[in-house]
Structures are given as C-alpha cells and as structure tokens.
Amino acid sequence: MSRLLGGTLERVCKAVLLLCLLHFLVAVILYFDVYAQHLAFFSRFSARGPTRALHPAASSTTNCSRPNATAPSSGLPEVPSARPGPTVPVLPPCPDLPPGLVGRLLIEFTSPMPLERVQRENPGVLLGGRYTPPDCTPAQTVAVIIPFRHREHHLRYWLHYLHPILRRQRLRYGIYVINQHGEDTFNRAKLLNVGFLEALKEDAAYDCFIFSDVDLVPMDDRNLYRCGDQPRHFAIAMDKFGFRLPYAGYFGGVSGLSKAQFLRINGFPNEYWGWGGEDDDIFNRISLTGMKISRPDIRIGRYRMIKHDRDKHNEPNPQRFTKIQNTKLTMKRDGIGSVRYQVLEVSRQPLFTNITVDIGRPPSWPPRG
C-alpha cells in the first residue's frame, strides 16, 4: 500500500516539475520577444535623432509647410506644384436678332457734332474704332470700309450714328477710313480694294466687309450690318431718290460681301476714276459669278444722305459706259489681284483707323468732241 502511494506521489511530482519547466520556457520566450521589440524601438529612436539633428531645415520644412509632403531629394530643389490660373468665362453666341434694337431712327444733320462728343457717347469703342460685345460671342468679325477725302464734317455725323447702331447689333467690328492722298480724280472702288487688304493686315479674322459711303446713314437699326450667303445691298432706299432704287441693277452706297465672295469676284475694279460706273461693274461681276444680291425690306433699307457740293475732282468718268459693257473681259485682270498703292500713314484714332494712301493718278483721257 505504501509502495503504491509512493509511486503515485513520484508521478505527481514529475508532472508538476514538467509544468514548471514548461512555464519557465514560455516565460523565457516571451521575455526575449519583448526584449527584441524594445531593442528595435530604441534603435529606431536613436537612428532618427541624428538625422533630425543633421538636417533640421529639411525636417522643419517638410512637416510645417504642407501636410503629407515628401522631403525633396538630396541636392535638388523642390519643384512647386502647378496652380490652375483664372478661368475665362465662355460667352454664349450673340442672338440672330439682337434684343436692344429700336427700329426706325430720327436722323438729322443740323446740330454740331464734335468728335469729342461722339467719343464720350461710345466709351466701349477701343482705339482704332474696334468694338467687341461684352456679353456674347458674334458669329462674324466685320470690317467697315469707308472711301474718303475732304469729308470730315460727314465723318463726324457718320460716327455719331453708326457706332451706337453697330453696338446695338452686337457686332464685333472695326472702322477703316481709307483716305485718298492728293487732289487727283477720286477712285472709290480702288480705295475699297485698299481697305479690304489693309483691314486683313491688321486682323486676319475679318470675314465680313461692309463698304459704305461716308455720307449715308441708315434710318433703321434693324438693317443688320452682316454678311450672308449672297452679297448684300443695304442702301436700297435713299431720300435723294425718293426712297426708291434709281434702277434695278443699282449696287451703290452701302454693300456687304464676305471674304470668300469678295475674292470670288476678284474684288472691285481699279480703273473707274471719277464719279459713277464702278457700282454697276461690281453688280455685273456678282452676276457673272452666279451669285444673287440680297436686299433688306425697303422700309428697313432707308438711308438719309448728308448733302454736300460735289468734289470738283470727282467728275464723271467719260469711259465708264464702255467699261461697264466689258466687265466680262476686264474682271479677271482688273481687281484685287492687280491693285497698286502706297500706304503713307496709318493713324489709329479713338473712333476709327485712318489709312492715308497714294493710289496713283488717272490716265489721260482723250479730249471730248
């Protein structure tokens, strides 16, 4: 009995001893694991300390200037990030029928019209007579070409009335006064060719050209100064003609052609010195190319003419009727491709661009009789 009890006690002691040994081994393993973690922690701490001490500026810049920033590479400056610039608002297209038009206008030429007054009335017009609507994007860029000499009085009235009309029509436009130098016979059509070329030199974006005499003012702002699918005749009813066309093929006063249409007819003829004939030649050129002339309603196409004495150097061309009959022969050789002139001065005024040109002298006509 005692021997059995002693054997059991021995086995219990061995089991307890094994448990103690197992506990000791677990404790040793845990101890070394914790020790290793502490050792790694203090190693990182001690390694980070000298780096911060050696590069205090880099550490300070990285932590304080921008969140989540990365330190610059050694020896290379940090490239600043690109910042978006201010966005330009996209304007809607200008309406086909501008809402600010007033219709029939009261046109009179009795009160004095100094240029200073016209300038005050049009503060949005830029130097050189350029204007762009601030609230929409026009479909066309329009150059208004005026053949000119010795008509300062008329020009002031023209600018007074036309600038507000063109602005209400929501046009992007420029005004070009082509001033013929000297006192030789006037040549309207050649000056218009010069205006076409010089306007494009200033701004190649021009795609519509309005050719206007300086003494004609529209009486209705619904007569839109734009170009269409066909050449357009604007001044179809003048007070001096009793508000009627003088004849069916009349194309004088104010007309408009797109750049493509103008080049298609080879521009205007250069050899019509003196009064009359060139507008009929232009009408013939348009007809020969198969295009048709469009016109506004006769009530909208009314114009008033500023009265003046005819220029003594603008007498009728004695050969104009012969030239008109030969348009088909002269159209290809006489036009925008053959115009010769010399620009003497370009002056950008507050309300228009003045271009003074020498267009040469007319040929000597044989005596009549």
Q: Which residues are catalytic?
A: 213, 215, 275, 278-279, 305, 308, 310
Question: What's the maximum distance between 2 C-alpha atoms anywhere in the chain?
Answer: 175
Structure tokens at 101: 């038009």
Please give the angle made by the CA atoms of 321, 229 and 176, to the nearest 5 degrees.
Answer: 65
Q: Which residues contact 288 (CB under 8 A, 6 or more apart)?
A: 265, 327, 328, 331
The span from the CA of 211 to the CA of 254, in Å, is 6
As a whole number of Å, the end-to-end CA separation of the chain is: 175
Beta strands, E only, 205-338? 208-212, 216-218, 232-233, 237-238, 254-258, 302-305
Is 350 exposed, middle or buried (CB count within 10 Å of its CB: 0-12, 13-18, 19+)? middle
Q: How far is CA 219 from the centre of its chain?
A: 28
The span from the CA of 189 to the CA of 176, in Å, is 15
The backbone region for 185, taken as left when phi is positive above 0, alpha when psi lies in -120 to 50, beta otherwise, is beta
The phi and psi torsions of 357 (rounded to 5 degrees) equal: -135, 150
C-beta of residue 328 within 8 angstroms of C-beta of residue 322:
no
Structure tokens at 19: 């448990």
CA-closest candidate to residue 231, choices 143, 140, 295, 302:
295
C-beta of residue 245 within 8 angstroms of C-beta of residue 237:
yes
Is 52 exposed, middle or buried (CB count within 10 Å of its CB: 0-12, 13-18, 19+)? exposed
Question: Would the CA dihedral through 25, 26, 30, 31 be positive or negative?
Answer: negative
Structure tokens at 224: 């839109």
